[in-house]
Structure 1
């Protein structure tokens, strides 16, 4: 027995193995693999344009972005995508990768900065820059990147999706499944951008909000993981129809999905938390050093002023007047005679 999915979908018949997971089995309409190819091509073209013009662009940033594109193509363009229609654990792995791994890699590539530097300021390029800057400065962008929006998005994506039955309804159609994957990727970008982005943003999130957001996300993952591990009945009935020939217990597979949510989903957040704390400490140290330097400069200026003031007010030796008879040598000689 297999899950019934409406739409152009390829569902594997062989039991899951590592070889089957990584086999290049594209879906009939590979939306996200095509998106990965487009993103990688556009980014590479921008980087090459800068390099050919003798302008510097970080190879590390390029590597991060392209690795993110590769991960996007792998989790949605190989056998993993097909098994994600049958196994809850595979679908959870896809969701966590699309939300927690790929977005930070894409954001660390600073695609916004590359767009502003590599796009020509004439013709179609000028129109592209106007659209990009207009979108960046819009009220919608400020709202979407507000740190207070992170917690509701994360709670809705994890707890709301699986505990309300929404996942069971959406996963039964190809449009719903692909729509969820696009939503995971988009929400991951919205959540990670305020935390780690170095691109120009309409607002900057304070470090205290970054730490709070990351900590709350970790708690949501832990709660979802515990619920999936401790619940013996299928939370998402769609994944209860595992092929009998695969010899996989849906309850065990659901527990594995919970373990992934608690471990694999927590690891990127732990890395982000460590990086955030390190950046916070580095910024405070830099500010303290600059303040100390300014104070030292002000103290040196004040000490120099005091020295100059003391020199101007020091008592001077009496100056004798030439017209004073008592000071003339002749007068003294006449007096002595």
Structure 2
């Protein structure tokens, strides 16, 4: 009976719980936020423009990183599939767009001094951006490969139970969620110049495939009559594992799909804007050619008139 179900209270997910923190992600969030704020302040104090909305987006992304790594949701992720799915979706589809919207690469290039240690940092950044690894990670098929690896391969094989069996495995998995989410999101969200810029049709294919992957896995979790994962098959604090699993599936159908729908709208809008810019450029070229042709005809007409 659903009335007997006792899942971990949702407000408990957002209570600071340092005893169950994931140190890798928590420290990374603090370091990234500190570096970004320092870079933004350096830009402003040196009279250079840097957008405040970008700064807010990046800081918000770092704050969410810290929350999912140090608050109660991280501790509950080992006993509740709903908490784990919420944490994973946040790490893979919510945080990366916020970090990318902050344009950290552009800030690094503009705020790093071009002498001393800063020169070495800039050289390393340029080398990494132009490397084969960067082009491989930005391949149009990479977001699809990551979605397949992080959802069907991780859950439909019950590999998630093996990984979540240890604290180290859970911490490394959360860090991998974030890295994989950023790699998958850069081709879809980034507006900065990239060594490999996927076409808009390729981006749309990526989005549609990811939406279908979430929908299929969510349906499997919702419709399964028994718990699918050994690590989450034992009732915790009187909770029903089947109900907890169904709620996790609903998160895939709702919470995981919303960012993809937003990026779909953004992608279509950018595609339309690019086509309009190209149309204006072509129109201006055609107008210039028409003016030149009319001037040429007028010149011929003047030469043909009797004097």
CA distance in 1, matches of 2:125, 2:142: 22
Shift of 1:19: 3.5
Closer/same/farther in 2, CA of residues 256 and 29 from structure 1, 3 Å limit: closer
Map 1:234-249 onto structure 2 (within 5 A). 234-243=227-236, 246-249=237-240
RMSD: 1.3
Shift of 1:247: 2.7
Map 1:210-249 onto structure 2 (within 5 A). 210-243=203-236, 246-249=237-240
Q: Give a deviation string over 1:183-234, Cα, whole Å, max 9, x none.
A: 1111111111011112332111110101110010000000000010011121
Q: What TM-score do the two structures reach when normalised by structure 1?
A: 0.87
Residue 288 of structure 1 aligns with which residue?
279
Residue 263 of structure 2 aligns with which residue?
272
Q: Give a deviation string over 1:277-308, Cα, whole Å, max 9, x none.
A: 00000110111011111101110111011111
Residue 304 of structure 2 aligns with which residue?
313
1:102 to 73, 95, 101: 95
Closer/same/farther in 2, CA of residues 280 and 28 from structure 1, 3 Å limit: closer
SS at match of 2:151: helix
Count of aligned pairs: 301
Residue 140 of structure 1 aligns with which residue?
133
Shift of 1:174: 1.0
CA distance in 1, matches of 2:277, 2:205: 23
CA distance in 2, matches of 1:193, 1:256: 29
CA distance in 1, matches of 2:43, 2:21: 36
CA distance in 2, matches of 1:61, 1:120: 21
Closer/same/farther in 2, CA of residues 204 and 222 from structure 1, 3 Å limit: same
Shift of 1:251: 0.0
CA distance in 2, matches of 1:65, 1:239: 34
8 Å CA contact 1:112, 1:200 repeated in 2:
no
SS at match of 1:164: coil
CA distance in 1, matches of 2:229, 2:23: 25
CA distance in 2, matches of 1:150, 1:283: 23
Map 1:64-213 onto structure 2 (within 5 A). 64-213=57-206
8 Å CA contact 1:228, 1:254 repeated in 2:
yes
CA distance in 2, matches of 1:15, 1:36: 29
Q: Give a deviation string over 1:230-288, Cα, whole Å, max 9, x none.
A: 11121111012232xx3311000000000001111000000000000000001101110
8 Å CA contact 1:142, 1:203 repeated in 2:
yes
CA distance in 1, matches of 2:46, 2:170: 43
Shift of 1:54: 0.5
